[in-house]
Structure 1
Amino acid sequence: MTAAVDTPPDDVLRVDGLDVSTADGRPLVKDVGFTIRAGERVGLIGESGSGKSLTSLGIMGLLPEGLRATGSVRLAGVDHELIGADEKRLSRVRGNDLAMVFQEPMTALNPTMRIGRQIAEVLLVHRARPDRASAHAAAVELLDQVGLPDPAAAARAYPHQFSGGQRQRVVLAIALANDPALLVCDEPTTALDVTVQARVLDLIVRGVADRGAALLFITHDLAVVATACERVMVMYGGRIVESGPVREVFTRPRHRYTQGLIAASDLTAVDDRGRLATIAGSVPAAGDFPEGCVFRNRCAKATDLCATRPAWTGTGPDAGYACFHPVPRGHGGVRAADTTDHQEARRG
């Protein structure tokens, strides 16, 4: 196991050498490392099967049975290593210092409990409120903060009485109830229609900003990252292949996979036959990525050199790329005007 490193005061989360593997040792996430600073909003993008959700579940200590995480995950304010910690210790951290919003809200809600009680339970378990009356009052206030009409009536309702967007607001209220230092969101808007998606996304950004919390936002939607995040990490084959400020990565990508993602996300760009851009091939099954550069079997620029693992080029784990044949500067990105700085937009 990688030796634990104390988290600097301005770092909320520090991940070092995170690996996720099956019981028989097949690697699914390999040597992932990054930091998230206090109040920072970071996106984690990549195609389905790239390892994004496994990374978040490894951080949270919620991996399915049969999978094992090694490495180091340190959270500011928590005096122990999260990797390998027992369930009792992890339960104290989850919902208090570290919270998560999943893609499907009904997986996080108890269908037999009223909404208000579910929020109140989180406050009582972590001793954020001294009794049920004050916890219920706080639950109603949280429902108001996430924009549910008539929050008192909403607190008396059951999950099935709400729409998908409303249920996701409830899950967000639960996640933010104890003012966590870091909120992890795993595709929280994917199942919602565009209008509802925008509203929920804005609630997430406002919720973490109001609390001074950091955000790790996992998605395959580059537009969502451009709207909500300041920094982005690109994942493929269980590895981080590029990382940096959103505007820098999206307008001047260096890794060939990042270039492909950006091209495929542009629904207005077509070739002379009217076809949209795609990345050749498909994502291999988890654990079946090639050795060396994990993207080499889909990359048009791959050479024999790519059979070895490319070194990280950059100023640190949070700014750089790992590619033998990087995209030349000024090629393969989107216009700077197409990337949105959410904070500036809100101030405007």
Structure 2
Amino acid sequence: MINPFKLGARQAVFLLDPERAHALTLTGIGTGLLPRACHASDPRLAVTLAGLSFANPLGVAAGLDKNGEAIDGLFGLGFGHVEVGTVTPKPQPGNPKPRLFRLVADEAVINRMGFNNEGHEALAANVARAKRRGVLGINIGANKTSEDRIADYVAGTTRFAAMADYLTVNISSPNTPGLRNLQARSELATLLSRVLEARAAATAQPPVFLKIAPDLDQAELDDVAAEVLAQKLDGIIVSNTTLARDGLRSAKLAGEAGGLSGAPLFERSTAVLAGMRQRLGPDMAIIGVGGVSTGARALEKIRAGADLVQIYSGMVYEGPKLISDGLSAMVAALEKAGAGNLRALRDESVAEWAAKRF
């Protein structure tokens, strides 16, 4: 099927600075005038997870709408869930520019944004104004200059527990120095304990997910899984961007510092996803994200163990048609299998993907 975005709009967008293009794209989505994806409300794609009801399994990953400026427009595109943020207690400008790079030959993006956002109160105001026609996740982080980063996550939990359908604890961005150290088991135990205590003390208790990096080794994945199970966390998101640069063709930009997302992340993130499904068992909620650039890849995340799938960088290259492509691939797979829901397809390729090593 013809993709009108790739026929002309993408070329025009790519003439712009990446951050300028991102801002204009978000404004366009926020108008609510873009068409809705097919199959967005197909009952066969409905998912119940962590006590939440999703119209379909496809969502937008954190980072696209950091400040919650286009929540209703994103739901209007057909996403079953929208995750906004990452948001920090205080506003911060992020890292110096340039900090966002398109690797067109690889259909990839490198970013070192550094949690640039307008802070808790600005996001809270935008969330309060949104109509929210789906499940809303809020991704919380820590300020770069914070003297107590765990306290920042506690503050995020307290501020947004009553506003979010779920919260995501993001400790896996590579662009805030030392942040990924919170994935070590001793630090992770303290962090999750305090976040869950804050949730218990709040007026509402939404599910809490943990977003991890794709660069953890096997022992580190074992530790994360053990702590997630010990703390009885609600779910996990696999994964954030990678520091790896394997096999890139865009040599001029491959050396830029930051996290790599887009098509080259697919295999690494999907292998980690499958490995975490093996470690966490069949009942833990898992959201798969990373490298979803085609409908087939969205479906493969489900087959590798994901309950839900998120996209972001793939839309830079494919536009909003990627949403329809992902949902259509899932419907076609259900019809081929004669299955009534996606749980019947989940885990079909877990063993195959988990056997991969990076």
Q: TM-score range by the shorter chain?
A: 0.3 to 0.5
Name the structure with the higher helix share: 2
Name the structure with the higher strand share: 1
Q: Greater CA radius of gyration, 1 or 2?
A: 1
Q: Which one has more relative contact order, counting CA pairs under 8 Å at least 6 apart?
A: 1
Which TM-score applies when normalising by structure 2?
0.37
